[in-house]
C-alpha cells in the first residue's frame, strides 16, 4: 500500500460524508423527524406535531386531512346519504381537525353533526373524575342530546349534534361509536 494520492483522499472523503449522512438520516427517522412509512404512524406523527407550537406546512396539513379519513365512520347504514368535510385547523399551538357530517352535497348542504379531533395527551388521575361517562372502554362526558366528548388514549373526540334529528343521546353515541376509536386510542 503506497502513499495515498489526492484522488484516493477525495474518494475516501466522499464515502465518509455519504456514510455520515446515511447515519444521520437513520438516527433522525428513529426520533420521528422523517415521515413514517405506515399511514397510521404518519397520522400519529402529524397529530402530535400539531399539538406543539408551530405550524405544519400546507403539504402536511393536506396529508393529515387525507389520513384522518381512515378513522371516520363509513357513510353506510344510518349515515348513508351524508358526506364528510374535513379541515385541519392550524393554530399557533393545539391544532385540531374540524370534521363535519354534511347531509347532502355542495357547500350549502346542512350540517348534521360536527366533530373536533385533537391530541390532548393521556388523562391524569385527577382529570379522570371530570369524565364520568363511558363510551365502550373510554372515559366520556357530555350534555344529553347536545354533545358527547370521549377520550381515547391521548386523543379527544368532541361530537356536537347540530341537526334536530341528531339531538338524541343514543344517536350521538351511535355516531361516535362508529369512529375507529380503537385505532385512535393507539396514536
Average pLDDT of 53-80? 95
* pTM of the shown model: 0.79
- 142-155, pLDDT tens digit by residue? 999 999 999 999 99
Q: What is the pLDDT of residue 31?
A: 37
Average pLDDT of 15-26? 40
Q: What is the pLDDT of residue 15?
A: 43
Residue 12 has pLDDT above 50, yes or no: no
Residue 117's H or E segment, with its range, is: strand 111-119
Please, what is the angle between helix 39-51 and helix 58-67, to 10°? 120
Average pLDDT of 19-25? 39
**Between 159 and 20, the higher pLDDT residue:** 159
Residue 6 has pLDDT above 60, yes or no: no
C-alpha cell at 34: 422523517
Q: What is the pLDDT of residue 19?
A: 42
* Calculated CA dihedral for residues 138, 166, 100, 103, nearest 10 degrees: 140
- 24-64, pLDDT tens digit by residue? 333 333 334 455 678 999 999 999 999 999 899 999 999 99
Residue 80 has pLDDT above 90, yes or no: yes
Answer whether 152's CB lies under 8 Å from 184's CB.
yes
Q: What is the pLDDT of residue 171?
A: 96
Answer whether 98's CB lies under 8 Å from 116's CB.
yes
- 100-112, pLDDT tens digit by residue? 999 988 888 999 9
- 86-135, pLDDT tens digit by residue? 999 998 888 999 999 999 888 889 999 999 999 999 999 999 999 999 99
Question: Would you call 123 helix, strand, or coil by DSSP?
Answer: coil
Amino acid at each position: 500500500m503506497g502513499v495515498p494520492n489526492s484522488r484516493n483522499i477525495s474518494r475516501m472523503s466522499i464515502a465518509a460524508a455519504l456514510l455520515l449522512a446515511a447515519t444521520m438520516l437513520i438516527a433522525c427517522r428513529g426520533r420521528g423527524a422523517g415521515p413514517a412509512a405506515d399511514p397510521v404512524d404518519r397520522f400519529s406523527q402529524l397529530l402530535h406535531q400539531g399539538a406543539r407550537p408551530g405550524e405544519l406546512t400546507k403539504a402536511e396539513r393536506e396529508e393529515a386531512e387525507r389520513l384522518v379519513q381512515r378513522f371516520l365512520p363509513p357513510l353506510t347504514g344510518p349515515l348513508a346519504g351524508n358526506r364528510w368535510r374535513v379541515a385541519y385547523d392550524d393554530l399557533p399551538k393545539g391544532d385540531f381537525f374540524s370534521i363535519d357530517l354534511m347531509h347532502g352535497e355542495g357547500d350549502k348542504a346542512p350540517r348534521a353533526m360536527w366533530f373536533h379531533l385533537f391530541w390532548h395527551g393521556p388523562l391524569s388521575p385527577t382529570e379522570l373524575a371530570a369524565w364520568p361517562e363511558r363510551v365502550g372502554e373510554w372515559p366520556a362526558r357530555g350534555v344529553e342530546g347536545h354533545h358527547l366528548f370521549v377520550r381515547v388514549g391521548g386523543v379527544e373526540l368532541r361530537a356536537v349534534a347540530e341537526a334536530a334529528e341528531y339531538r338524541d343521546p343514543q344517536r350521538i353515541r351511535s355516531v361516535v361509536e362508529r369512529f375507529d376509536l380503537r385505532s385512535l386510542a393507539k396514536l
